[in-house]
Amino acid sequence: MNAVVELAPVVALVGNPNCGKTALFNALTGSRQKVANYPGVTVEKKVGRVTTPAGRSIEIVDLPGTYSLRARSPDEEITRDAVLGKLATERAPDLIVCVADASNLRLALRLALELKQVGRPVMMSLNMMDIARKRGVEIDMAALERELGIPVVSSVAVRRGGIDALLAALDTRLAANQATVASEWRAPDATALRGGQREADRVLRAAIRKAGHLDPGTAKADAVLLHPVGGLLILLAILFVMFQAVFAWASPLMEAISEAFTWLGALVGEAPLPELIRSFLKDGVIAGVGSVIVFLPQIVILFFFILLLEDLGYMARAAFLIDDRRDRLTTILVAPLMTCSARIPVYTLIISAFIPDREVWGFIGLQGLVMFGLYAAGIAGALTVSFVAKRLFWRTAEGEPFMLELPDYKIPQARSLAFGVWTRALAFLKRAGTTILTMMILIWALASFPQPPEGATDPAISYSLAAKIGRAIEPVTHPLGFNWQINVALIPGMAAREVAVGALGTIYAIDGGEGAAEKIGKVVAGQWPLATALALLAWYVFAPQCASTLAVIRRETGGWKWVAVTFFYMLALAYAAALATNQIARALGAG
């Protein structure tokens, strides 16, 4: 008997953005998938398992979408290196599947030609055949295989049985055990790219019997949604509704989670444990981590909206509508919506913690309104900064050009959407269980030691290191309306903003007394004047980004100089914004 455990063959999915690659990945792997990060970069690594009809177990890797192996971003570098077998931590693919949108083949064919040069077995999966057919596209599969020189199958990721042909082809290709030859791929220059596109166009002419038309639905929708004025108004309306929903729909569930943690805390509070351990579990772990986990319903609703808009094909339109030709506004504005999953969830979290839940003008939720205002403030701030930056050092404000495919609108698939939300929710919980838990333990220790002397009269926390640190900064933050408890939370909040909320949960829990709220996750709102809450929000609009953002800046600029510049200018900006907010709000009577 052969005792050697054979590793499952690796199949890599590569394709243009919007080619339906992720839907295909979901169809292939179902729930047998994992989302993590590639080591050292914030690029999502999606790996799953599938068993073929012949009983072969395969590892499927969904690589980031790209137009070329000539990588221009960290995501595309991962795709290039994975395809070339150069990722130190990953096994090289045994088979590359180039996923192409059957109704939009042209750019995919050029990518396929590039993939052929890598020297590994390659095949193509013509995805979304149903849509292509509906659009009147007729493809001669035999001609396409012949002219392209690689096996081609068709697939409909979203229909039962739609991937049977692909699964069968995976078996055939892997059974053929085609050898890998030395890679001939080199980063193409303009001449090579042009030659590649000409060749792709030739293949296209040979294989397409009938070309389709621009999707009439997309054309009609864009006439409205991309209207210079109307489109912008609709975008604002969508954001407004989205932010209202995030707060309104989540509150019953948040209430339930909060009660569960409060119950858990009470249970631990009565347990026969040494006082210090009881405080650690109750105030550090349960109050700290609990006050972050309470926000899970909001995260779920938020990602539901973001992924829905993305799957609809609307996100690229949103970028189009708010692009400004002079600077990097798009990146600044849309990035929080699309990529930096740390930012907007944290806003929702801070808002529900700090802004009272009540209605204004009878029907509009105050929390959702503040969220909308924050977003608008972010836009105004970005405009000002880019304007000033252009005056001061105009070269740095140049930035990336805006070049982006606007995919056809598609009806989102419930399954795909559910997977997306599920994996984000898991990631949030994982973060709460690791990073945030670690920080909470640290905060608890700072707030508990040194222990008060014998016969102390003040609350125990006032003898702690945390109180000393918080009070030391107080003269600086007093004009902002911040008290020492907030000061303590500000410092870890720079590493990850959601930690600030958890830290306040822990500090107030240890502080105890009549000031402490009775429910975890509801600790903070109502403890301070509204002016302080608004000032704290203003601080978080501009405060230095999560550590990962600074890491990206360092990599992009290749040095610490810009990291330092960014850090301190954001710190200064945050201080100024919080100061102005506090002073104005107090003058208006919100003190």
Q: Which tokens hold the place of 409?
A: 């609108």
Task: Please pick, from the candidates 8, 44, 47, 70, the single residue that binds other proteins as defined by CB under 8 A.
Answer: 70
Q: Which is nearer to other proteins, 226 or 366 (CB)?
A: 226
**Closest alpha carbon to 381 in 335, 333, 341:** 333
The residues near 314 (Cβ < 8 Å, ≥ 6 apart) are: 225, 238, 409
170 contacts other proteins (rule: CB under 8 A): no
Task: Please pick, from the candidates 19, 23, 107, 344, the single residue that binds other proteins as defined by CB under 8 A.
Answer: 107
Shortest spacing between CB 62 and other proteins, in angstroms: 21
Shortest spacing between CB 210 and other proteins, in angstroms: 12
131 contacts other proteins (rule: CB under 8 A): no
10-15 and 57-62 strand pairing:
parallel
Gap between the terminal Cα atoms of the chain: 79
Q: Which is nearer to other proteins, 69 or 578 (CB)?
A: 69
214 contacts other proteins (rule: CB under 8 A): yes
212 contacts other proteins (rule: CB under 8 A): yes
Task: Please pick, from the candidates 34, 146, 159, 198, the single residue that binds other proteins as defined by CB under 8 A.
Answer: 198
Q: Which is nearer to other proteins, 110 or 120 (CB)?
A: 110
- 520 contacts 514 by C-beta, under 8 angstroms: no
The residues near 218 (Cβ < 8 Å, ≥ 6 apart) are: 313, 408, 409
Number of alpha carbons in the 13 Å side-chain half-sphere of residue 271 = 17
209 contacts other proteins (rule: CB under 8 A): no
Shortest spacing between CB 407 and other proteins, in angstroms: 8
Residues 355-414 interacting with other proteins (rule: CB under 8 A): 398-408
Q: Which is nearer to other proteins, 164 or 201 (CB)?
A: 201
DSSP secondary structure string, 333-380?
Answer: HHHHHHT-TTHHHHHHHHHHHHS---EETTTEEHHHHHHHHHHHHHHH
Single-letter amino acid, residue 132: A
Q: Which is nearer to other proteins, 228 or 453 (CB)?
A: 228
119 contacts other proteins (rule: CB under 8 A): no
SS3 of residue 251 by DSSP: helix
85 contacts other proteins (rule: CB under 8 A): no
Q: Which stretch binds other proteins (CB under 8 A): 210-218, 271-279, 299-307, 485-493?
A: 210-218
SS3 of residue 329 by DSSP: helix
Shortest spacing between CB 148 and other proteins, in angstroms: 17
Q: Which is nearer to other proteins, 294 or 553 (CB)?
A: 553
Shortest spacing between CB 329 and other proteins, in angstroms: 10
SS3 of residue 21 by DSSP: helix
Q: Which stretch binds other proteins (CB under 8 A): 314-322, 333-341, 420-428, 447-455?
A: 314-322
Shortest spacing between CB 383 and other proteins, in angstroms: 11
Q: What does the chain come to in residues?
A: 591
Shortest spacing between CB 194 and other proteins, in angstroms: 5
Give whole-number Cα distances, 160 to 11, 33, 51, 308, 579, in Å. 21, 19, 16, 22, 58
255 contacts other proteins (rule: CB under 8 A): no
Give whole-number Cα distances, 580 to 534, 568, 576, in Å. 10, 18, 6
- 152 contacts 123 by C-beta, under 8 angstroms: yes
228 contacts other proteins (rule: CB under 8 A): yes
Q: Which is nearer to other proteins, 400 or 556 (CB)?
A: 400
Q: Which is nearer to other proteins, 59 or 77 (CB)?
A: 77
The verdict on whether omega for the bond into residue 450 sits within 30 degrees of 0, i.e. cis, is yes
Give whole-number Cα distances, 448 to 267, 274, 281, 479, 487, in Å. 21, 14, 12, 28, 16
118 contacts other proteins (rule: CB under 8 A): no
289 contacts other proteins (rule: CB under 8 A): no
232 contacts other proteins (rule: CB under 8 A): yes
497 contacts other proteins (rule: CB under 8 A): no
**Closest alpha carbon to 281 in 510, 111, 83:** 510
Shortest spacing between CB 307 and other proteins, in angstroms: 21
190 contacts other proteins (rule: CB under 8 A): yes
Q: Which is nearer to other proteins, 232 or 379 (CB)?
A: 232
Q: Which is nearer to other proteins, 32 or 198 (CB)?
A: 198
Shortest spacing between CB 182 and other proteins, in angstroms: 25
569 contacts other proteins (rule: CB under 8 A): no
281 contacts other proteins (rule: CB under 8 A): no
Q: Which stretch binds other proteins (CB under 8 A): 173-181, 195-203, 386-394, 479-487?
A: 195-203
Q: Is the dihedral of CA 482, 483, 486, 488 positive or negative?
A: positive
Residues 322-341 interacting with other proteins (rule: CB under 8 A): 323-325
DSSP secondary structure string, 475-524?
Answer: HHHGGGT--HHHHHHHHHHTT-HHHHHHHHHHHHHHH-TTTS-SSTT-SS
310 contacts other proteins (rule: CB under 8 A): no
138-139 and 33-37 strand pairing:
unpaired
470 contacts other proteins (rule: CB under 8 A): no
211 contacts other proteins (rule: CB under 8 A): yes
DSSP secondary structure string, 121-179?
Answer: -EEEEEE-HHHHHHTT-EE-HHHHHHHHTS-EEE--TTSTTTTHHHHHHHHHHHHHTPP
189 contacts other proteins (rule: CB under 8 A): yes
List residues binding other proteins (CB under 8 A): 67-68, 70, 72, 103-107, 110, 188-190, 193-194, 197-198, 201, 211-212, 214, 222, 226-229, 232, 316, 319-321, 323-325, 398-408
